[in-house]
Amino acid sequence: MTAISETLPYQLGELIYHNPLSCEQDVQNFIMEGQAAISFPQQRMRMENVLDPQLGQQANFVFWCPQHFPDSIAITWDFWPIREPGLCMTFFSATGANGEDLFDASLAPRTGIYPQYHNGDMNAYHVSYFRRKEADERSFHTCNLRKSRGLHLVAQGGDPIPSVSDASGPYKIKILKWKDEIVFMINDMPVFQWNDDGLTYGKRLEGGKIGFRQLAPMVGEYANLHVYALERG
């Protein structure tokens, strides 16, 4: 087992899922909501909008890994910011609002428009990082954790990733979800930590899907998606 950090009591356990995200075949079963171009010019997954950013929310999208994951996991991937402005977001523990599979036919269709994800018929946690869309986001860089349904901002920390002009990458993104605790890290540096009491913002979320969202005209690249069982040391 691999220790997460000297300051955190967690270890990586069994590897549950690995996807290099290096070619079209790697994501042939992924599910797109909205419209986007997925390409692999550097043998890593590049995501970019195809609709005009002037369309606002209609130009944004979510790309879902189809696998259902258990509770208490570590999610890691490599990230390169290629073009800004924009914003990157990752959903996890995503299910239907009543515990259905996220792609259950009874749920309303989703097309990448944000309110469908934070006040629709689904539940999820989501981390937004590399937030460079609005002027206040570009002048003061933060990473945010929200719990939905309800768009509750529950944790926030400084974003250490520089703007595209100074970014080199890859930046190792890591989400730790241990029962009621969530930790977000970049290059193994903790950005924020939060405990879900299961009362203030509704019941604690357990298990579900992982999805990647971008706000136009952001272009980002992703590789080496790993999901491990998370163990407490």
Q: Which domains does the chain have, with CATH numbers?
A: 2-232 (2.60.120.200)
pTM: 0.96
178 HSE (CA, 13 A, CB side): 18
The per-residue pLDDT string of the chain (233 residues; one tens digit each, 9 = 90 and over) reads 676 777 799 999 999 999 999 999 999 999 999 999 999 999 999 999 999 999 999 999 999 999 999 999 999 999 999 999 999 999 999 999 999 999 999 999 999 999 999 999 999 999 999 999 999 999 999 999 999 999 999 999 999 999 999 999 999 999 999 999 999 999 999 999 999 999 999 999 999 999 999 999 999 999 999 999 999 97
3-state secondary structure the chain: CEEEECCEEEEEEEEEEEECCCCHHHHCCCEEECCEEEECCCCCEEEEECCCHHHHHHHCEEEEEEEEECCCEEEEEEEEEEECCCEEEEEEEEEECCCCCCCCCCCCCCCCCCHHHHCCCEEEEEEEECCCCCHHHHHCCEEEEEEECCCEEEEEEECCCCCHHHCCCCEEEEEEEECCEEEEEECCEEEEEEECCCCECECCCCCEEEEEEEECCCEEEEEEEEEEEEEEC
